[in-house]
């Protein structure tokens, strides 16, 4: 059944006056008629079954509460060294499906793409659409937060109970235990940091270590920048949901 995230200003008691984007999707894409039912996720994550009472006006009436929880039981922040646009959009989509709670784009010394916070902000609407659609597709109750573009000096604002940076030199040195060891700890929040295509400059690693961030390997192979965060999120999801 199709799912829609609903803005606060669309809710009127037990009725929803659907926004223009979702209204168009219901009419033109899904070709819904009066009496069809959809799942709506309200601003605080409550999920309800709604019935379309007036498709022309975009009015839905609440039917019943749906008890479900498809979120990870820990808050995962991904600080991601900004790659090329298509790779970033791919990671936005897949990281959302894998349960990330917050994505922090990071401009590294070795980022190939040339941009700044103002230029990046112009693409926010497109990025938010990707996050929303991926959240609906994966049956999530929340849309991940996408922060403004940051630099190294702002990383400390996004640290968690456990903080890890994927560093290829750790793999080359045969260090394959820090990631697994960290996931065995008792934690409610976790920040993972992944570099861009060119990896991290050594000076950046030194600064992160000074903040208490732990370097870790992701195994014997060196992963691409768009593969590494998805690997880490998959391992976190496995450890939290399938190992219990």
pLDDT tens track for 23-32: 999 999 999 9
Q: What is the pLDDT of residue 177?
A: 81
Of 84-88, 110-114, 174-178, 190-194, the poorest mean pLDDT is in 174-178
**Model confidence at 170: pLDDT above 60:** no
* Pick among 1.20.950.20, 3.40.1280.10, 3.40.109.10, 3.40.50.10860: CATH of 75-242: 3.40.1280.10
Q: What is the pLDDT of residue 242?
A: 86
Q: What is the pLDDT of residue 173?
A: 56
Q: What is the pLDDT of residue 2?
A: 93
d(CA 123, CA 3): 24
Tell me: the pLDDT tens digits for 228-242? Answer: 999 999 999 999 998
Q: What is the pLDDT of residue 44?
A: 87
Q: What is the pLDDT of residue 27?
A: 94
Band (pLDDT 50/70/90 cuts) for residue 86 is confident
What integer is the mean pLDDT of 166-183? 74
Q: What is the pLDDT of residue 243?
A: 78
Q: How far apart are the first and last CA of the chain?
A: 29
What integer is the mean pLDDT of 70-99? 94
What integer is the mean pLDDT of 4-21? 95
Q: What is the pLDDT of residue 199?
A: 85
- Top pLDDT among 37 and 176 is at 37
**Model confidence at 10: pLDDT above 60:** yes
Q: What is the pLDDT of residue 110?
A: 81
What region, left, alpha or beta, does residue 242 occupy, with left being phi > 0 and alpha being psi -120 to 50 degrees? alpha
The pLDDT > 90 percentage for the chain reads 76
The pLDDT > 70 percentage for the chain reads 97
**Model confidence at 176: pLDDT above 80:** no
Query: How is domain 3-66 classified at the CATH fold level?
Result: Ribosomal Protein L25; Chain P (2.40.240)
Tell me the average pLDDT of the chain: 92
Of 140-144, 179-183, 218-222, the poorest mean pLDDT is in 218-222
Per domain, the residue ranges of the chain are 3-66, 75-242
**Model confidence at 59: pLDDT above 60:** yes
């Amino acid at each position: 059944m199709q799912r829609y995230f609903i803005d606060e200003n669309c809710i009127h008691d037990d009725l929803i006056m659907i926004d223009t984007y979702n209204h168009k999707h219901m009419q033109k894409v899904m070709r819904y008629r009066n009496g069809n039912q959809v799942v709506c996720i309200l601003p605080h994550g409550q999920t309800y079954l709604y019935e379309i009472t007036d498709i022309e006006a975009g009015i839905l009436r609440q039917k019943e509460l749906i008890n479900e929880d498809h979120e990870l039981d820990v808050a995962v922040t991904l600080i991601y060294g900004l790659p090329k646009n298509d790779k970033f959009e791919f990671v936005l989509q897949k990281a959302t499906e894998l349960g990330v709670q917050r994505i922090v784009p990071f401009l590294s010394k070795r980022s190939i793409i040339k941009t700044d916070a103002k230029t990046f902000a112009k693409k926010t609407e497109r990025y938010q659409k990707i996050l929303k659609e991926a959240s609906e597709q994966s049956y999530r109750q929340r849309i991940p937060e996408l922060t403004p573009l940051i630099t190294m000096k702002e990383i400390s604002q996004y640290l968690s109970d456990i903080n890890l940076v994927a560093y290829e030199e750790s793999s080359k040195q045969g260090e394959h235990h820090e990631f697994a060891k960290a996931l065995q700890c008792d934690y409610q929040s976790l920040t993972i940091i992944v570099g861009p295509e060119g990896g991290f400059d050594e000076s950046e690693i030194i600064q992160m270590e000074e903040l208490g961030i732990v370097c870790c390997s992701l195994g014997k192979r060196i992963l691409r920048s768009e593969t590494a965060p998805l690997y880490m999120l998959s391992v976190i999801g496995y450890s939290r949901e399938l190992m219990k």
